[in-house]
Structure 1
Amino acid sequence: INIQEMMNRNGNIEIQVMDEKIRFLNLKLAEKKRQIELSLKILPMKNALDADLVVLQIQYSQCKDRIKSLEKHFADPEGKNRKRVLEGKDPSLPELFKKIEELEIQLVQKEEKLLEKDFIYEQVSRLTDRLCTKTENGKEDTLILAKRMNELQQKIKDKTQKMMALIAELSMKQAITIKLQQEMRDKEQFLLTVSSRIEKGLPPPKETEIEWLKVLRNEEMHKAAAEEQYALPNSIYTTAEQRPNAYIPDDENVLPLPRPYGALAPFKPTEPGSNMRHIRKPIVKPIEI
């Protein structure tokens, strides 16, 4: 059964192959038929083209014959139309000499003009070289002047800025002066008023009393603050500079909190007195080996 199935399968494969070949051959047959039909359609045109080709070949041979005949006619030295006489007349010998003299005169004039132009060119070149030399020499002076001008401009700007600042400051001072003058006039007026009231036996104004009380209160506050600053914990008044009694440890693993010194407080030497001016600094002698 397996052999039959295999043979059946092989037969089917061969049938498919044959079908493909038949289909391919049918396509080729159709292509050939199409080419034959196209050739049959082109055949009348080919006959017309062949006739045109024959006509053109005849014309080409005729043209070649005509060219050969023209070449023979042109190369014939005994032909009548071989030469062509130019129009006009030849000048005589005196006319030629006269023409030569005129040309020589024109040549001399041209040479004179050329020499004159050469001379002018030399003069202009000399002047140009002189100007170039002056220009090269003046570049350094120009650079120095430009630098100097820039410096002066910068100084002018600085002076202008300073002057503007001084003007602004002067304006402020004038405003302050006007304000102070006004205050002085007010104070003078107030002083005159107070003096007149005192002369009349009247008490000073209420505003004066209030200001005086403020001054006394401020003095008392300053005095109390000074006493509190110089007061020790045991209620002893002193003006000595207070020494630190705690330090902040430098260890990274410890919080930066102040710690008291305890019994190992650092020693603070006293400041040198006025008698130190009588003591000379010792001179260190070099050691001789």
Structure 2
Amino acid sequence: MDQQPPPFFKRGPAPVALLSFYVLLSMALLVVDARLQTLEIVRQALSMFTHPVQNLAHLPAQFLDNASSYFAGAASLQSEGAQLQRARLEQAATLQRSLHVEAENERLRKLLGVKERQQVSGQVAQILYSARDPYARRVIVDKGQQDRVIAGQPVIDDIGIVGQVTRVFPFVAEVTLITDKEQAVPVQVVRTGMRSVAFGLGNGELEMRFMPLNADIQNGDLLVTSGLDGIFPPGFPVAKVVHIESDTTYTFAQIRCAPVAAVEHFSEVIVLDPRPPVALPAELAEEVASKDVKASTRSARAKKKRPTKD
């Protein structure tokens, strides 16, 4: 009677024998491949199958490298764009006055001793958000008392006048746009030199009020700051005339203007330094000082002459 175990329980070669066989086979293949290059074809055939697997394994690393290079490039481009925008804004104070200077040269080129215009300077500020009041045209910038911003400083962009600083906080400041109902800017028509005042309407437009019906104003006329208020430097573009209504039933003409600057959609502005007070001539300053002294003396004498109540 056969007592052999079933095939399932039959044991093959010993593990040590199998290990020795595969080690010898590997060494033989290495020697043959190094000497005769016989396995090059096999290696190339295997690489056709392993290459997609390698690419798939390298995808996470490639993705991280591409992502880092993408963000680095994007940050570099944003930095370069911000620098270019900042440079353009810093030069806006000079570029915006070209039209006004050209028109003024026609009238002043024959005059001598004309005082040179004062150079303006300022600092770039970022628009953070709009004011919460829906009926006001005001924005908040990221410059405040720590940046030596004071109320009254004019604000421009790379095109024209934007508004004026009205409230200052430690780290931010409130800018009232020229389209606000409470804002008024003394202006001058570049074509004719006529002076007036542009008032904000609160709806994104401005209006020239109290202008006679026969005023020499046309659609498309450019309005620049006249500088008569002592706040806005002269020659900065403010608005363009877009609608004129000369109805004889009214005393004055109705003149609507559109702001030149991107008042309602901008991100960076320049807060100009405040204009220094005008220095009076020596003779006029002495006359004003003497008048002030005389006025104070008269007021002191009047106080002494007043009867005292018992």
TM-score of the two chains, using structure 1 as the length reference: 0.24
Hey, which of these two has a bigger chunk of helix by percent? 1
Hey, which of these two has a bigger chunk of strand by percent? 2
Structure number with bigger Rg: 1
